[in-house]
Copies of this chain bind each other. A is one copy, B any other.
Amino acid sequence: MPLKTREEYLESLRGVKKRVFLFGEEVTDYVDHPLIRPSINACAMTYELSYKPEHEDLLTTFSSLTGKKINRFTHLHQSAEDLVKKVKMQRLLGQKTGCCFQRCVGFDGFNAVDSVTYEMDQELKTDYHQRFREYLKYVQENDLVVDGAMTDPKGNRRLNPSEQADPDLFVRIVEKRPDGIMVRGAKVHQTGAINSHEILVMPTVTLRDTDRDYAVSFAIPADATGILYVYGRQSCDTRKMEETLIDVGNPNFGGQEAVILFNDVFVPWERVFMCGEYRFSGSLVERFAGYHRQSYGGCKVGVGDVLIGAAQAIAKYQGLEKVSHIREKIIDMIHLNETLYACGVACSAEGKPTPSGTYLIDLMLANVCKLNVTRFPYEIARLAQDIAGGLLVTLPSDEDFASSEVGPYLNKYLKGVDVYRTSCRQRLLRLNENLTMWAGAVAYLTESMHGAGSPQAQRIMLGRLANLDYKERLAKEIACIEDEEEKKV
């Protein structure tokens, strides 16, 4: 069976010899680095839960390519039900990790590349789709984590790739060879890149004729020659390396982003899925973004569940859980969180098959989903801070709690309702802080804002998909205006 266990995943990752830089130094054993490991743990949860009978229905399915049981993260959606299960699986994983588990970008990449290469082949008589499906079988068979790499650095945002002062600010083909292509550039904000076995590269914007060299999609082992990774700093990152685990809030799990540098990297033809066909770049971006905007209607909701639970427990420790204004704030949090979930479910349930047979979410509703995700987690976090009280940001270090000189005083004075342990209050305040200000907030807030495209990207899609002409006609019909009557002759 292709399903890897958590341990097999970790072991296999140790075999991927990536070159990772952190604080200006190359990291020798990234899998066990204390600052990196929590993010690998989060990703490992996608393996761990696939072996739990109670979650089997969400975490696993049967491959449409091989018929074998596979991890859902490597699946091509075969129905609207598959799309809905994806969202439910993501909510579950958010609940279990309290952070980003970093395996969705590849998953969303597979589904986007699958349908677009099919359509390319249909129109252009290329064989990208076949190549891609072969590749995906390999991924499914080996239960791999693949980084779906889309975002280029972009430089001056008002210029197209080929107009930039530096031509490398978007990943590009620098050479075509008989056996493959040579690429150069960088991908930024690469969530989970260090946790991955492979990288699936896609273009990041709709391209034009003059940007033909930037229309490139391919897959490559994460430790291919010429690839370097620079680990991104997160709020409170070094806290993960402190000895006490309480102050880190989420002791076991975390997220990760990296810059991936492609310093003239070779890709053999069988791993190339787009090479100059710029007219298809728009579809690929739109569909990948669409799937990923759907994703946030699951994962962030799961993290929201954790934060709501933490807020509720903190309120209880402080004797406030039945006070009306606290209850109303908890309800506000639930309301916002479930609205996000509703959008995630709706765009999935309204999914339709593409020509390749792979199901695509409803793009309008997926963009609506993500646009709400750019706002509601911030409000949920604000409410969580409101409920927590000021202690959230003034709590002394865990070492002080352990100190013989001041520890007893802290335990005495920072107790809430007498029956509850001060240490539980301390732990949940730190978790709340993690999710609203620290590393957890990187994923729960800022990534909710910018991941899968910044809010303006969704707004542009909404304007494009809204069919305003049809709506205008509806209004005129009600107001008894004939189309020909509108303009004077």
Q: How far is the CA of A437 from the CA of B441 in the complex (A)?
A: 8
Contact (Cβ within 8 A) A157 B313: no
Contact A421–B479 (Cβ < 8 Å)? no
Point out the residues of chain B lying under 8 angstroms from A245, CB to CB: 480
Indicate if A233 sits at the interface (CB-CB under 8 A). Answer: yes
Contacts of A186 in B (CB 8 A): 409, 413
A239 CB, nearest partner CB in chain B, Å: 7
Pairs across A and B, CB under 8 Å, 24 listed: A24-B397, A151-B390, A153-B415, A155-B319, A156-B319, A157-B319, A164-B418, A188-B391, A232-B395, A235-B236, A235-B437, A259-B410, A309-B474, A312-B472, A327-B463, A335-B462, A339-B343, A382-B449, A393-B442, A421-B487, A427-B479, A427-B481, A428-B481, A437-B445
The stretch of A210-218, A284-292, A400-408 that contacts the partner chain:
A400-408
Segment of A52-60, A266-274, A300-308 engaged in the interface with chain B: A300-308
Cα–Cα distance between A399 and B421 once the two chains are bound (Å): 41
The 10 closest A-B pairs by CB, nearest first: A24-B399, A309-B471, A349-B349, A309-B475, A390-B450, A165-B418, A324-B324, A342-B346, A232-B394, A310-B475
A309:B418 contact, CB within 8 angstroms: no
Are A334 and B382 interface neighbours, CB within 8 A? Answer: no
Q: Is chain A's interface secondary structure helix, strand, loop, or mixed overall? A: helix
**Residues in B neighbouring A410, C-beta threshold 8 A:** 230, 259
Find out whether the CB atom of B395 lies under 8 angstroms from the CB atom of A233: yes
Could you say which residues of chain B place their CB within 8 Å of the CB of A47? Answer: none
Assess whether B305 is in contact with A471, with CB atoms less than 8 Å apart: yes
- Beyond A325-B459, A343-B346, list 10 extra A-B contacts (CB 8 Å): A25-B403, A84-B349, A96-B474, A166-B418, A169-B415, A228-B409, A309-B468, A309-B472, A310-B472, A421-B488
* Cα-based distance from A309 to B151 in the complex (angstroms): 26
